[in-house]
Each structure stands twice: as structure tokens, then as C-alpha cells.
Structure 1
């Protein structure tokens, strides 16, 4: 009898472990014609989502207690986004969970393709002579019938550097910035670049960078070269007043470097893709045989899109123990990249001859912006969770809660090697909405709210667009950012707020608590370990630890702070934050900003 009851218990236990709502997927042994059981897994995530969708549509019993899409370890390559739609929604009692298998390697959802067929040596006369027998060459992969173009390449899990004028992290001071002629004058480069048709200039300008496609270079014979640029970025760069390069700053002129020419491929670890052939050149370190290396280029900018509408939202979807890798960012190759702040590119901007808007009498410029691309996007959704996930080798934004997202959570995730902002959320009014006008949505639910960002690790973000941030929140309310570690970013660490306005706009009750921000402002200033904008009643900044403010080598001023209350910050209580000093930055804060008991004497326990 005892054995009988043990057998019954084991059967019950096994039934609990292998729920009828489980769908198995394997990149190695799957088949989309299979039934999705553990012994006959599906091949693709999209097919698994479709099966789960059908269970819900038909009200099958498999959906009663929730549906789990269980991914074997391996790489799931996608050349187009995976879409999660309103029809995929779960319920509180029956969520949909996309997760890695227990005890296995973390599955990777990748937007990349491998580069193979490398050959050593190249006699192209554009290459510096001393590297021609060290450079390896491969044809770019084809996607459909098109050659893959890329601005990013990863060799054995490490991001390679595009061929550059200087060593990594090195820039040079410009000689002049002429807005009327739309030219920048620089010291004449030592490289002969007259045949470099894809050359770009990266410009350091206060709290942002610009990426400008070079149109022409004219040597004046006196050690100087005058550079002109293509439109639309030339018009934007020289018309917009904030931020522009500085000539004669406190710490010198603004800086630049040239990038993306075969002539500049002269150091190990650099690479270049030729246009229009697509051919890829790489100078490996330590004489590496490239045919033994794993080389990946990203082919899609968005890997996963959770897409609801205002009328029909997506809800109760959870991602656990999944990695998202290899998302692209190509737009600067087509139209340059001139930003206002935080990686938000300008689509138009100029200085007002007569200052003033009804909402802001002293405003002296106009700007219209567009949102950066992102590897994972969420729109019009609720209860969307990412737990224990990894975001790695992403060229622009990692994860973006774009608009009308509520009651959601990002916890215990790791973000590393992110080109732009690691985690972004909320409205940054774009398109036809002038960015200085306070955003008050016609539909109240359009503002992102009740989002928990907790216990995540963010490191080496902003490595493609230095002006992005670790965690960025625009117009949001009731958002909690707690217990995160944010480090090794080129601008600010945690940023909350937008609009540069003292007016009420719906931002309120935001909580920045117990985070550790360190090694920030490594390249750009006008920064803060924690940075705020505008009026946010009922908000707090409490118990954070902020240290290792970097000495950005090419900053033109010394405006970097452990906490920076930028224009019209108001409504915050700021206390018990530990940092080497409490000399914070203030830019016209409001009367309800309360700052007390901060500095080196404060003891905090952030768990990091």
C-alpha cells in the first residue's frame, strides 16, 4: 500500500512538472511541424506563439493555468522582429511565459548573422602598407537577395572597433566651427583620405555627439583642413543651437575623430565594411586565424516588439531567463545623427529670432525629435515583465517601454555592451510635437505608469552614442527605479523627466531609491549620476550611492555632478544619498525641491 501511494504521489508530481500548457522549442532539434512536446519541440518562437494563441482562441484546457513557451539553450536567429500581439495576451490567472529551460544554458534570441569564408591578405592600395598581409577579408552575408550592411561587428563575443583616425577613446580638438558656412576646420589628418567615400566625423558637443557624413575635405596648405558634410545632418548640425560644439571653452575647443575608411584601418581590433561591395575587412589581434573565430553582424534593429493598440492592449506576458543579442543601428549611414539630448535625434531645430512660446516665454529655440531604435519595444501594454533576462551586443536602445505601458516590471536583468540607452521608458514627445511644449496626453492612459525597475545590472552602455544614458525615463508617473547598479556610461546614469518645464504635465510620484551609480560621465559633461528635468510632484531620490565621477578628457567645461537638477526640477525630496560631496548641479529648480542630508557621511545599503 505504501508503494502504491508513493507511485500516485510521483505521478501527481510529474504531472505538475510537465504542465499541459507547456510548449517546447529547440533551435537545434526543433521542427515547426512537430507538436511542441518535450520530445518533439518546435523550431521557432513565432510558431510557439501561434500555438499558444490558438489555445487561447479556442479556449483549450491547456491555457487554463497559464502557458509556458520553454526554450532550449541555443541561438534563435531572426532577421525580422518577433511580434507579440493583443491576441497573445494572458490573464492574471493564466499568463504567457517565454522562458529558458530550467538548468540549461540561457537561450539567445539573436538578430544577427554569421560572417564566414575569411581570407588573409589584401593588396588594396587604400590600406596602409604595413597591415596588408595582416588584414582578413570576407564577403558580407546575404539576407534575401541583398547584401547585409552593418555598422557593428562582434568577434568572439567582443565588439570590434570601426576603422578610426585615432586609437580607441582618443580625439583631437577642432580649429573652428563655422555655422554660416556649415564647415568645421580641423588639423590636416596624416592619412590620405581623398578616396574615402564613406568617411564620417564624430563630433563631441557638450552633452551629446553628432555623427556627420563627410562630403568634402579641403586642405588649405597651412596644416588645416576644412570639412563639409551631407544633408540633412549638415543643416541640422549648424542650425540647432543646443548643443553645438564649443570654440574657446573653459577646457578648450570641442573635439572630433574621423571614422569609417579603409585608409584608417591600421590597428588590431579594427574593421571596415566597403560600400557598395559589402566586403568586410578585419585586422585581428594576436595574429588570430579568422576562420576559427565566431563573427556576427546584426541584421535587424528590433528583435522583439510587443505591440498593442490604444483600443486593444497586450497584457500578462512574462520573459524569464532569456538573452536578447545582436540588434543593429543603421540610420546614421543614411542620414547622419544629430541629437538634442539622450540620443533623441533632431528632425528639425533652429534658433528663434524672437524668443518665446505661450508655454515658455524665455524659450529661444525650437526642436522636433525622433525616438532612437530599440532591440525590444513595448507599446500599449500592461503587466509585461522581464525577469533574469540579458540584453547584450545591442547597437541602440536595449529595452524600451515606449508608450501606454503600465503595471510592468524589469528585474534582475543584465544589460551590457549597449550602444545607446540600456533601459528606456515613457514619452519623449516626437514627430510633430515640439519637444519644449509640456506633454499632456489627450488620453490619460498613454503616459507610462506603475513600472518597477529593480535589481538590474547595467554596464558598458552608451558605447555607440555617447549621449545616451543607463536608465532613461521621460514623461512617466508612479515609476520606481530601485536597487540597480549602473556603471561605465559616457553621459548620465539614471535620468528621469523631460520637457524643461515648471508646468504640471502628469509626471509625478517617481521614486529613485537605493541605486548604485558609478564610473559615469566618462566622455560628456553637463551630466549627473542621477539627472532630473521638470516638475514631478511627490517624487523622491533617496538612499542612492553615487561615486567615481569620471574626468571626461575632452569636455569643454566642468559641469558634471553626482546629482544634477536640470531645468525646472521640482517636486522631489532628495535625502540620504551617499556621494563624495553634495555639491549638486542646479538649473533654475522650483520651490518644492527639498534637498537634505546628502554626502560622504551618509550610510547606504544598496545591495550592490
Structure 2
């Protein structure tokens, strides 16, 4: 049965009415091609779900005409947007333009000008050798230039420590001391008990690994075209246009809504050909205290654990919570202030396929949760992420990854293309080597046929990861047939690994992968407590002796130090990724343009 609508809420009400009346066939909800602006997410539940083997599909009306919606021009696409149009631009001198943000719109972290992301203005990397970190704040307001900012309380400092990313708002400047909003600052410091001593060596200000930092959102920093600054008192944004941009006619969108669609206990549903765009991430005094892979430490108190079982998952445009037999197909996730899609809380038999993820502040797809021993109804399993493309995720929160799997079983991550990422590409597993993470709900996962190019980028200063990264004992897990090309770094301090079996990764098969032009080890199983791993039949040009430790772990029949890939390896590489095939593989030694 076909139904056509141009309003999401009207469509939902009619679908519910038909289902409640015992509708006994598949329903296809066709939406008119336009932008559907949301101030709150559309929530689909059991009441909106297919019945008796039938499905409910939400998709675009075929052959939609071009319409101007006030936000963007649509050409046959259904765009669900969490943004509002921002007009009224006026010159502000020095080539800058200013506009007033309407009341009720949260403080923006990004604008989108003619469909291009405009981030906050930022400084260069700041020399902090003489800065002192303590519970009261950080010294160096004068030498860092922060004391000269007209509005320091709108400024956010960003810190990078190995694999962790921190964003804390300045509360005030007192003499040479910079004080930060709480609880962000306490959560970011060593010795405060918020993360346990095991992770203190990657907190802000620790010397063992070193750290980097820069300032954002000060008018004094607005020198780069395509950036802006937010003034919380005047509720204005000041923007420096790119060459050729006319702010009197530009289409500018400011994100307001964090989530667009939530499937809560929904089942037998299909979302097809939809675009999710312009979501926000609402800054609070929690700030962003990155733990790993886009998870953060929030709140001033509460349960803690060194296995990361109480961290906060990134907010996402689409959340599937406890879903069954859900398919997300041919959708686009673009211009997001958080993550793309989250499958959680016992979601099973759900697929994200043939979708495109680009220009996301956080990660692409998150599958599973961080409780190692979930109740069966909350255990995620038999989910699939396949034939998707990920490009430019982690645009703001650079510790995030394109595809993350937590404590999950029978997860298939197959034939995806991942390109130009600041940190790791695919991450599966959790818990490190902590006692509470033993014998977890984890295993029989398949990371197969993916193409991962240009990850762990030096410019972002996010260290210690891999194109494919794993944690935890996961018997039956396979990493096979992937093509990994170019991960940066070249020292043990700033690891740029190809396939990284970290911490307690155990019982994993690494086979028939092609790993080229990586900065450090092509495969790493460094921990003695990562046992019974096997790397066999892989091809690489890498000549660095890999670490492969742990009882029962073996390497066999791998071709290393190659100057030319054999035909069989070329075939594997060309078949990797989301297509189209065949994709010609560059000869070893060439550089990407």
C-alpha cells in the first residue's frame, strides 16, 4: 500500500491509524521532496512498526521536483534537517559579516554556508612549555595570548593527548591564570579520581606522553575565511566569507536539534533514500572530555570504572534503540554536529547499507554498548554495516572513528570505504584489560572487504590507533580481505598501525589483508595478555618487525617488505570497499594526489 505525504507527523499519525486497524500488507510512506525541519526528533516505536511479516518503509517520492524550502534547494531528495535558516547578514568591517541568532537557538558550534561547514575560528598550535596545570586551572594567559581576548568566557581550549580529545570552555581569566568551566576541567585532569589512576597518564597536562593545544572562538582569531565566532552576550555570529561568497544571498544554516529520528523498540522498518543533516551538539559545562572513539566522561560524580563502562556515547542524528529487523538503506548523513547513526540497547538483525557519511563532527556508525555483561534483551547481535562510504568523519571531535562496535556479537562490517579520517577507521571491542571486562558479550564479528585510506592524520595530533582497531577477547572474530593504505606516523610514541590488536584482543584471525604505506607496524598484538591471535597470508610493503605477543599467537605465510603486490593481492585490494569495481590499485611507492 502506497501513501504520499509532505509532513512527517501527519504521515506518522496515518500509519499508526492503519496499523491499529489491522492493516495486513506492506506500507510504503512516500515523502515529497523537500526539507523537513525538525525542532524535536521524530520518534517511531512499536506503534509504527510492521506487523505479521510485513514492513513499513519510509522513503522519497520518486521523481520529485526541485523546490526551495528556505534552507536548501532540494532536487528530488527528502532532507530531514535540525537547522534553521540564518539571514539578516550585515557588514562588520575587515571583510567580516555579522548576523543575530534568534532567541531559543542554542550556542552554535558550526554554521553551514552554501552547504560548506564553517567551524569556529581557531589559533595555531600553542607553545605551552611554561604553562602549569593544576586543579585551579592553567597558567599562561599572557604568553598564550588568552589574556588579550576581549571575550575569554566564550573561548574553548582544545587539548589533544595521545588518543584523547578534550574541549573545555574558559570560565574566566584571573591575572595569568585561566580557569575553566566545571566539571570539564576536573574530569580532564590527572589525580582527580574521575577516571582512575590507570588513565591518568593520558589526562591533560601529563608529561609522559606530551600534549598539544589550541584556542577557539575568539574574535581575535578570525583571520581564516570560512570560519566564524559566536558572541553569547549579543547572540551574534561573525563570519569571514570565503572568496566569492555573497552574504546577502548566501544560504546559511545554523544547527539547533541534536537528534532527528529515534526508533525506540521499533521493528520491521525500512528507512530508504533519506538525508539527515544539520544536527547540533549542545555545549555544556561538561565540555568534551574524550575517553576513546568519541565516548566522553560527563557529570561531576557518578559510577566510574577503568573499563569504560560508564562513558557517554555521542549523540546521533539517527538512533535505533532495541530495534529488530530495521534496514537503513541509501541514506545520506551529512553536516552533523554529532554522530551519524547509533544502534544500541539490544538492537538485533539491523542493517545500515549503501549510505554515505560525510562532514560529521563525531563518528559515523556506532553499534552496541559498553556493558560487558548485558541482559539478553539489551545484548546487540546480528547487525550489519555494509557498502557504506565514510569521508571526513571526526571533523570536530577528532578522537572519534568511522565505524565503532562495542560489546556485540555477529557484527558484520563489510565492503565499506573509509577515507580521510583523523584517527582510527574501524574499532571493535572495549574494556581494555580490566577485571570487570573479562568474558564479555563479544565475538564472531567480521571485518571484511573494507577499503581504509588516509587515517591517523599527523596534522590532527591524535596518536595511538590503527586503521582497524580491536579490544577484548572475541573468539571467532575475523579481519579479512581489507585494503589499508596510508596511515601516518612513524615512531613508537605516535603509533600509526595498520591492524591494531590492542590490549586484551584475543582469538582473532587476521588473514589475506593488503596493508600498504602505513607509518608504523602493519599489524600489532603487543600485549602478552592478548592471546591466540593468528595473522596469516597477508601482504604488505612494511619492513618494521611487528609486535605479535601473547600465548598461542602466531604469524605465518605473510609476505612482508614487498616492492610490488602480487596479482592475488591486487585482486583483493581492488575488490575492497563499497565499489565501483574494479578500482585500480596504485603501484607501491606512489603518493596520493
TM class by shorter chain equals 0.7 to 0.9
Partner of 2:553: none
Determine if contact 1:340/1:346 at 8 Å carries over to the other structure.
yes
Question: What is the match of residue 233 of structure 2?
Answer: 276
Secondary structure of the equivalent of 1:99? strand
**Residue 285 in structure 1 maps to residue 242 in structure 2:** yes
Root-mean-square deviation over aligned CA pairs: 2.5
Aligned residue in 2 for 1:449: 381
Partners of 1:422 and 1:366 in 2: CA distance: 20
Aligned residue pairs, count: 516
1:162 equivalent to 2:120? Answer yes
Distance 1:566 1:66 in 2: 45
- CA distance in structure 1 between the aligned counterparts of 2:201 and 2:33, rounded to whole angstroms: 47
Partners of 2:204 and 2:170 lie apart in 1 by 17
From 69, 85, 93, give the equivalent of 1:114: 85
Partner of 1:390: 332
User: Which residue of the partner structure matches residue 507 of structure 2?
Assistant: 571
Distance 2:224 2:499 in 1: 38
2:533 counterpart of 1:593: yes
Contact 2:43 2:264 in 1 (8 A): yes
Alpha-carbon distance between aligned partners in 2 of 1:548 and 1:187, rounded to the nearest angstrom: 40
**1:369 CA drift (Å):** 1.6
Counterpart mapping for 1:302-317 below 5 A: 302-308=259-265, 314-317=266-269
2:202 corresponds to: 243
**Contact kept? 1:419, 1:463, Cα under 8 Å:** yes
Give the 3-state SS of the residue equivalent to 1:290 in structure 2.
coil
> Compared with structure 1, are the counterparts of its residues 117 and 349 closer, same or farther at alpha carbon in structure 2 (3 Å cutoff)?
closer
Alpha-carbon distance in 1 for matches of 2:157, 2:298: 19
Which residue of structure 1 lines up, in the alignment, with residue 576 of structure 2? Answer: 606
How far did residue 383 of structure 1 move?
Answer: 0.7
Q: Is the 8 A contact 2:477 2:507 kept in 1?
A: yes
1:100–1:364 CA distance, 2 compared to 1 (3 A): closer
C-alpha separation between the residues in 1 aligned to 2:34 and 2:106?
23
The answer as to whether partners of 1:173 and 1:186 remain within 8 angstroms in 2 is: no
SS in 1 for 2:238: strand
The equivalences for 1:25-104 within 5 A come to 25-26=5-6, 44-59=7-22, 63-91=23-51, 93-104=53-64
Tell me whether 1:374 sits opposite 2:301 in the alignment: no
Separation in structure 2 between the aligned mates of residue 242 and residue 467 of structure 1, nearest angstrom: 17
Work out the CA distance in 1 between the residues paired with 2:206 and 2:240.
Answer: 36
Tell me how far 1:365 sits from its aligned partner: 8.8
What does residue 24 of structure 1 align with? 4
User: What are the residue-to-residue correspondences of 1:258-269 with 2, within 5 Å?
Assistant: 258-269=215-226
CA contact (8 A) 2:86 2:254 kept: yes
Partner of 2:397: 465
TM-score by length of 1: 0.80
Structure showing greater Rg: 1
What is the aligned partner in structure 2 of residue 14 from structure 1? none
- In 1, are the aligned partners of 2:310 and 2:370 still within 8 Å (CA)? no
Deviations 1:449-507 (A, max 9, x none): 10111100000000111111010010100110000011111110000001124721121
Indicate how the Cα distance of structure 1 residues 319 and 147 shifts in structure 2: closer, same or farther if over 3 A, else same. Answer: closer
* Alpha-carbon distance in structure 2 between the residues aligned to 1:349 and 1:575: 44
Structure 2: state its 5+ residue gaps: 65-75, 541-558, 560-568, 580-593
Aligned to 1:436: none
- 1:409 aligns to 2:372 (yes or no): no
The yes-or-no answer on 1:478 pairing with 2:414 is no
Deviation for aligned residue 1:159: 0.4
State the SS of the aligned residue for 2:14: helix
Report the secondary structure of 1:291's partner residue: coil
> Is the Cα contact below 8 Å between 1:182 and 1:235 reproduced in 2?
no
Separation (CA, whole Å) in 2 of partners of 1:388 and 1:92: 25
Structure 1 pair 228–334 and aligned structure 2 pair: CA distance change class (3 A): closer
For 2:497, the equivalent position in structure 1 comes to 561
* Deviation, structure 1 residue 173: 5.1
Judging changes above 3 Å, is the alpha-carbon distance between structure 1 residues 530 and 173 closer, same or farther for their aligned structure 2 residues? farther
Structure 2 CA distance, aligned partners of 1:72 and 1:349? 46
Partner of 2:487: 549
Local SS of the residue matching 1:46: helix
- Deviates further, 47-56 or 230-239: 230-239
| 1:560-605 Cα shifts (integer Å, max 9, x gaps) | 2001111100121111111027642224243221112223254412
Whether 1:319 aligns to 2:271 is yes
Aligned equivalent of 2:108, options 147, 150, 155: 150
Provide the C-alpha distance between the structure 2 equivalents of 1:397 and 1:577, rounded to a whole number of angstroms.
Answer: 28
Residue 287 (structure 1) shift: 5.6
1:136: which partner in 2? 97
Q: Which runs of 5+ in 1 are unaligned?
A: 1-20, 27-43, 122-131, 220-224, 309-313, 351-356, 358-362, 430-438
Given candidates 156, 162, 167, the residue that maps to 1:211 is 167
Which stretch has the larger CA shift, 457-466 or 576-585?
576-585
CA contact (8 A) 2:271 2:327 kept: yes
TM-superposed deviation, 1:171: 5.5
1:114–1:141 Cα contact (<8 Å) kept:
no
Q: CA deviation at 1:260?
A: 1.1
Instruction: Report what 1:125 is aligned to.
Output: none
1:54 partner SS: helix
Helix, strand or coil: the match of 1:383? strand
Q: Tell me by how many angstroms 1:87 deviates.
A: 0.6
Q: 1:236 to 1:153 in 2, by over 3 A?
A: same
* 1:329 and 1:373 in contact (8 A); partners too: yes
- CA deviation map 1:172-229 (0-9, x unaligned): 555445346542547823572154221110001110110011134466xxxxx54332
CA contact (8 A) 2:515 2:522 kept: no
